[in-house]
A and B are shown apart, each in its own frame.
Chain A
């Protein structure tokens, strides 16, 4: 019987909720493992989960500097979508979408995945043409996409200003109905519990301080809780990739770390039943199941490891929200926070073997890492287990920048803050 079920809920409710087991153990690190995954965020935990589930590799440690899920997996705006233009991205993110669609069952943990759709608003005829092209590219690869008229959008989001007198009138939009949102903490906890139950050691408050080597090969890590050896060491540290790679003696990477802010408002009655993006700036908004509006915008735009942003972006995000929803002007903002984004030079991620023998690298998620969580771990686990990439992550190499094989969905060039 599944650990969490209607029956177990009822039984524990009647017996005072005293028999629940902790969702994961708190083991001390062993001297050695088959695989060490550095980073106890969504991607690190899902990597460990799929290593155990798909490849039978259970002698695995996940090392987390802070507490589980304290980084970007709990800082994002929870959007899940696969509406990309380029086939490499579309195939990868669509694989992720398919894993999302079965994730709660797979983990026996309700991640509250809600396919409420993602609508990109178009404000110029050229932008609408561009969206039609992207929608066609998506449908060509079997992903759902539909172009929506202003009337349809008006029915879907009645609060939206679709009048001709809006500062940027809405001319239409591109909808992916299978897109949606999930509860991000549950994703971290569900993967952690699933990995733990299969034998993976999740070791919190354990910061990597250096790499152990045998000749040129990485053979383990030194940490704040002692030395741990492993045949394979995998990095899934997102915004801290530069810092950890420097510990391994690699000073330069095609990555810049930037700060991205996110915001949540006080709870409102249901008003926005989809994920909406603004086309004349960088703004996206959805409504959580608790009622809070969850929204965000652009990066602050300069290198940062501070996990906090500054006021000009707050101002810009709020003004973009009011351009779409004048009626929200008096809604109070409840919280704002920042997360680190490992911005690559083409806006696409890196999941690869190497660059050092014994090392495996997963990074470069820019600000789109949450939706990738299942496929990132799934592909990374495959790459670690087989020592070669799966076809879904084969394009996401580290050396693509030096070989002219960049995957630049927005066509922005090597300016990371613009991706």
Chain B
């Protein structure tokens, strides 16, 4: 599997570290909403098909990437910078 890093170009998957489901909403650090925190820590979308996920190019430029990848075919649809990492409230 090759992932095309926006900085470094197409690289082998062994250069990357998987950081999981990119759909999760991280509550504000001061939030005391227990349901929101448990959902963030434990709930996953886990689709069979296109999956929005976070990877880090840990063996290269170390950028965090948002990758849309098909979990049935391993085909990669798009790769962009993750910006805020996992989605956070009030950030884009």
Residues of A within 8 A of B (CB): 240, 242-243, 246, 251-257, 301-306, 310, 312, 345, 401-402, 414-417
Contacts and interface: CB of A to CB of B under 8 A. Distances in A.
Interface in B3-24: 12-14, 18, 20-21
Contacts of A256: 20-21, 44, 46
B70 to A, nearest CB: 9
Contact of A303 (B14, B41, B53): B53
Interface residues of B, number: 25
Contacts of A242: 44, 46-48
A414 B42 CA distance: 7
Contacts of B53: 302-303
B74 A254 contact: no
A302 B18 contact: yes
A254 B44 contact: yes
13 contacts: A251-B45, A253-B43, A253-B46, A254-B43, A255-B44, A301-B18, A303-B20, A303-B53, A304-B71, A401-B42, A402-B42, A414-B41, A415-B20
Contacts of B39: 252
Contacts of A416: 44
B48 A401 contact: no
Given A304-B71, A312-B13, A417-B18, A254 B42 contact: yes
Interface in B41-59: 41-48, 51, 53
Contacts of A310: 1, 13, 74
Contact of A306 (B38, B44, B45, B73): B73
Interface string B59-92: 0000000000101111000000000000000000
A301 B58 CA distance: 15
A132 to B, nearest CB: 32
B31 to A, nearest CB: 16
Contacts of B72: 305-306
Contacts of B42: 254, 345, 401-402, 414
B74 A252 contact: no
A255 B72 CA distance: 17
Contact of B46 (A303, A312, A402, A417): A303
A402 B48 contact: no
A301 B51 CA distance: 14
Contacts of B69: 302
Contacts of B71: 257, 303-306
Contact of B44 (A253, A302, A305, A402): A253
B43 to A, nearest CB: 4
A304 B18 CA distance: 12
Nearest to B74: A306
B68 to A, nearest CB: 12
Contacts of A257: 46, 48, 71
Contacts of A401: 38, 41-42
Contacts of B12: 312
Nearest to A242: B46
A252 B45 contact: yes
Contacts of A243: 48
A402 B51 contact: no
B48 to A, nearest CB: 4
A47 B47 CA distance: 27
Nearest to B49: A305
Which of B14, B41, B42 has the most C-beta atoms of chain A within 10 angstroms of its own C-beta?
Answer: B42
